[in-house]
Amino acid sequence: MVDLETVAVLKALATANRALAELKGRATAIPNQGVLIDTLALQEAKASSEIENIVTTQDELFQAELFPEGAGSAAAKEVARYRDALKLDVTRILSLPFPLIVFDVHWRRPLQQYYK
């Protein structure tokens, strides 16, 4: 078993806590904080799609975001679908009671019966 209450872990935890507090303070200056979170999901979707040889540019992704009905590239549309699926999964996981979140994330078991 791993001991998580070591001096090194607790110091790292304090450092991370300070960084999160600073980020939270700076985020209040952003009128729509969802933009920051949405960008992270989009970057994850772009990076994961590149593994499957679906390559697009940042410019294409942001244009597809601004003009969803436009004539964007097939790659940008695929990355947008990946992002949407990622956001849906996060929403579903966060709707579960905490023990099921740990179970779902740790063991990657399908828990569709809990998503109703």
Amino acid identity of 66? L
Domain parsing of the chain, residue ranges: 1-30, 33-114
CA distance 83 to 78: 9
pTM: 0.53
Nearest to 62 by CA among 47, 37, 85, 43: 43
Q: Which residue has the tokens 């200056």?
A: 29
How many CA atoms, within 13 angstroms, populate the side-chain half-sphere of residue 69?
Answer: 0
Instruction: Map tokens 């004539």 to a residue.
Output: 71
pLDDT digits (tens, 9 = 90+) for 15-56: 999 998 988 888 888 887 777 777 777 888 888 888 888 888
Q: 96: which DSSP letter?
A: S
Q: Which residue has the tokens 């699926």?
A: 85
Tell me which of 17-21, 96-100, 110-114 is least confident: 110-114
CB 87 within 8 A of CB 41: yes
Q: Which residues contact 95 (CB under 8 A, 6 or more apart)?
A: 115
